[in-house]
Amino acid sequence: MGGHLYNLPRMPRAAYLEVEAEVRAALDALLPGAYRIPRAYGDKPDFGDLDVLVADPAEGRPDTARAELRARIAAALGITRHQVVGHVFSTVHRDLQTDFFSLPAADLESAWTFMCFNDLGNFVGRICRRFDLKYGERGLTYVYRRGTGNHVAELSVSRDFERICAFLGLDHAAWVRGFETLPDMFAWVVASPYFSTAPYLDTDDDGTPAMQRRGRTRTTVARFVEYLRAEGIERRPTFDDRSTYLPQVMAAFPEARLDAQVEGERAAEARQAEVDARFGGKRVMALVPGLEGKALGEVIRAVRAEHADFESWVLETPQAEIDARVRDVARRLGEGV
């Protein structure tokens, strides 16, 4: 949450570590193995908040399970100030904003990895974009976009951060050991052969640094830009079109069966294109001249509502029969029947 919800002052490192230890002790008893606290670099002087990732107890169960867990956490830590913001139970514990993030148990480890060391996960994610990949709380995914650009699917690639680091040319062992300082962390990400300074040092048409707006709200990003400039780091590796890297990604993560996932998306895309051609807004308007706007939407919804598996009906029904049904429904609705 960024530590701004309660307008509390930042807490010095020594005091923060005491609070974190207290929270860990309470959660070890309350949620053994079902929570994670992201790591910070070694000499971080102060903290705006404490983030805790908690396995969602409400998966497949009534939402009352979340409320019960929130009450148990509050009781265990003596918390009296709190509020729920989306999936976050935001509290104040010993004058430190302490946020409990509820997420699926399957995402607990990968989300923890992503959130460790401030914005490091975001820096890694920016490198991944070069390959049409996304790195986030669910690990590494491949971003599949349909030709129309209206549909985007994230296909699972890997949650194994060691494998992800190997693909990007990053030292996983160093990440496991941790980073003593911010410059140590920055040097780690810059070591990737795929790292580019372009997103951080290039400017917009008006001369504004591309990352400046984000840097205003994310101190670590701003300090990273300062680090690159101070060290004179200028890295601009040449990349091919993003789509050309798919075979490389498939070869690096064969267990993901990315080829089958992509083929499934392509098949779904072809199926949707055929459905749109046989029953789409343009065809309906051509069949019923003058039909548009709200009336067009009503006809389309009425025809779709007649069939439990609408797409199969469209694909399996002769075109003449589909067209006749569209005209009949348009006529019925137009007559107010």
* pLDDT attached to residue 84: 93
State pLDDT tens for residues 206-224: 656 566 555 455 789 999 9
pTM score of the predicted model: 0.85
State pLDDT tens for residues 287-324: 999 998 999 999 999 999 999 999 999 999 999 999 99
State pLDDT tens for residues 264-277: 999 999 998 999 99
**Fold classification of 11-111 (topology level):** Beta Polymerase; domain 2 (3.30.460)
Q: Residue 81: beta bridge partners?
A: 92
| Per-domain residue ranges of the chain | 11-111, 116-255, 279-334
* pLDDT attached to residue 337: 36
Location of structure tokens 């908690």: 54
* pLDDT attached to residue 205: 61
Tell whether the model's pLDDT for residue 35 goes beyond 60.
yes
In the chain, pLDDT over 90 holds for what percent of residues?
Answer: 80
In the chain, pLDDT over 70 holds for what percent of residues?
Answer: 93
Segment 33-40 shows an average pLDDT of: 97
State pLDDT tens for residues 98-108: 999 999 999 99
